[in-house]
Amino acid sequence: MPTTEYKQERPKKKQKLINITLNIPNQYYDAIKILIGYNLTQSRSAFIRQSLKDFLKKYLPHYKDLEEFHKIIVHHPELEERRRHPKWRALSP
């Protein structure tokens, strides 16, 4: 077994989390279970959160802080206009 343990970064502030349902292939699920067994990740949720964080850092490198990114997106004029459209409201939670 590897000696290096994965340490999940703790958020600075308590973040509100939402529950989602995720369908993945069995091979992905089995791979995540193996990583948990080697203490490379704490849980399936921690693995998925870290994977999403890595993906967002890769494709949104100029936004280091996701809270800042969220504020920009939420108040973006073009997106505010789109949110007024009936189809957008139907998709919103």
Enumerate the domain spans of the chain: 24-61, 62-93
Record the pTM.
0.56
Where residue 39 falls among pLDDT bands split at 50, 70, 90? very high
CB contact set of 82 (below 8 Å; sequence gap of 6+)? 88
> What's the number of CA atoms in the CB half-sphere (13 Å) around residue 56?
13
Q: Is it the case that residue 14 has pLDDT exceeding 80?
A: no
Euclidean distance between CA atoms 55 and 44, whole angstroms:
16
Mean local confidence (pLDDT), 13-28: 88
Q: What is the pLDDT of residue 13?
A: 67
Q: What is the pLDDT of residue 42?
A: 95
